[in-house]
Amino acid sequence: MNWNQLQYIVTTAQEGSVTRAAARLFISQPSLTLSIQNLEKELGIKIFEKSRGTLSLTYAGRLYYDWALNTLHSRDILEARLGDIKEEKSHQIRLGISPHRSRILLPAILPRFYEVFPASEILLEERPTYQLRSMLEEEKLDLIIDVPHPDSLNYQNILLAQEHLVLAVPEVYLKKLPEISPEASMVTTDLEDQAGGAVPIRAFSSFPFFTLAEPQNLSALSRRIYEAAGFLPRTRLVCSSIETALDLSAQGLGIVLAPEIYSHSERAGKGIRFFHMAPRMADRLDMRQICLVHRKSLYLHAGLKTLIGLFLETAPQIYGQERQASSPRS
């Protein structure tokens, strides 16, 4: 039994396929199969079983997998601590972030990080948040920027900002609605809540909308708002990228609910008018917490601590908010 064998079992279990595991491990499939068979013979147990073409862990295999995962994790922590003792400033950090946040947050954070740790390597995964959470749980990532993880016993959620949604409306649509004041800057789902000139979202119901593909969190949030407003938007296109939806909206092709961060970006005033949600809606329908999430068992070496600190300092400024958190929260 050796470190490679432990990693082989963990990777094969996570992939559920010897073929995919071998490709991920950069070894041949026969070599991986032989290594698993030799380990099973050495232990006198079956680690994997195959049923209807699906590879899964046996009961004994699950016990071995959990032990192997913890053992590999302990080794990583030891290596990181030894590296800190030697005062090496070279670290590898696996960071997961959705594409739209990556484009806005990282240019403001990474240059400052590399000033301190120029030899470090950040392995960046830009994916939808629901995929990032799965990768974090499979220990393929160290940190993700996401909504809070529901398992607060095993995962640390460090609040970065409160993210609201804004209604991105093509300016050409507003020319067709003279009843909407040029000064109007808010929308509401409540027809009776038009304080401060808030515009009912239903006022735009005759125009086409872009929606986000399931199972993205934005899709569910948008649906809740439309339902509260009492109308079903006429969907022109289902997008998997909020960037694409906003690009098309700027061309006058549809309306989309987007993260508020875009109203603070270079997109503001370029073919789109952003409407914020009326105060009575805030923190009720359109709000979500954006956190930096990591396993509580993760060893925070100097590079990770610095990167987390830069996110805590910079993200609230970009979101146009005061600092939301100065310390980790469960």
Shared domain for 119 and 253, answered yes or no, is no
Shared domain for 273 and 257, answered yes or no, is yes
Last residue of a domain, one of 47, 82, 117: 82
**Residues 186-204: tens digit of each pLDDT:** 888 876 666 667 888 999 9
**Residues 243-291: tens digit of each pLDDT:** 888 899 999 999 999 888 888 766 555 789 999 888 766 556 667 889 9
Shared domain for 175 and 264, answered yes or no, is yes
Q: Can you give the pLDDT at residue 326?
A: 40
Flag whether 77 is in a domain: yes
Domain extent for 27: 3-82
Shared domain for 146 and 235, answered yes or no, is no
**Residues 2-19: tens digit of each pLDDT:** 888 899 999 999 988 999
Shared domain for 183 and 257, answered yes or no, is yes
Q: CA–CA separation, 79 vs 242, rounded Å?
A: 39
**Residues 30-84: tens digit of each pLDDT:** 999 999 999 999 899 999 998 777 789 999 999 999 999 888 888 887 777 676 6
Q: 26 phi and psi, to 5 degrees?
A: 60, 40
Q: 240 phi and psi, to 5 degrees?
A: -95, -10
Shared domain for 169 and 244, answered yes or no, is yes
Q: 324 pLDDT exceeds 50?
A: no
Flag whether 326 is in a domain: no
Last residue of a domain, one of 27, 60, 82: 82
Flag whether 330 is in a domain: no
Using a cut of 0.85, tell me whether the model's pTM lies above it.
no
Q: What is the mean pLDDT of the chain?
A: 85
Flag whether 325 is in a domain: no
DSSP letter for 106, please: H
Shared domain for 233 and 100, answered yes or no, is no
Shared domain for 17 and 42, answered yes or no, is yes
**Residues 154-163: tens digit of each pLDDT:** 999 999 988 8
- Output the CA angle 122-125-128, nearest 5 degrees: 150
CATH of the domain at 175: 3.40.190.10
Last residue of a domain, one of 53, 82, 111: 82
Shared domain for 262 and 206, answered yes or no, is yes
**Residues 287-300: tens digit of each pLDDT:** 788 999 999 989 88
Q: CA–CA separation, 162 vs 254, rounded Å?
A: 26
Shared domain for 235 and 302, answered yes or no, is no
Flag whether 259 is in a domain: yes
Distances in Å between the alpha carbon of 108 and those of 12, 68, 115, 294, 316?
38, 38, 12, 21, 12
Flag whether 324 is in a domain: no
Rg of the chain over all Cα atoms, to the nearest angstrom: 24
| Count of structural domains, the chain | 3
**Residues 107-152: tens digit of each pLDDT:** 999 999 998 888 888 999 998 888 899 999 988 999 999 989 999 9
CATH of the domain at 21: 1.10.10.10
- Output the CA angle 310-316-318, nearest 5 degrees: 90
Shared domain for 158 and 292, answered yes or no, is yes
Shared domain for 171 and 158, answered yes or no, is no
Flag whether 115 is in a domain: yes
Question: Which amino acid belongs to residue 24?
Answer: R
Flag whether 67 is in a domain: yes
Query: Nearest-CA neighbor of 218 among 228, 206, 226?
Result: 226
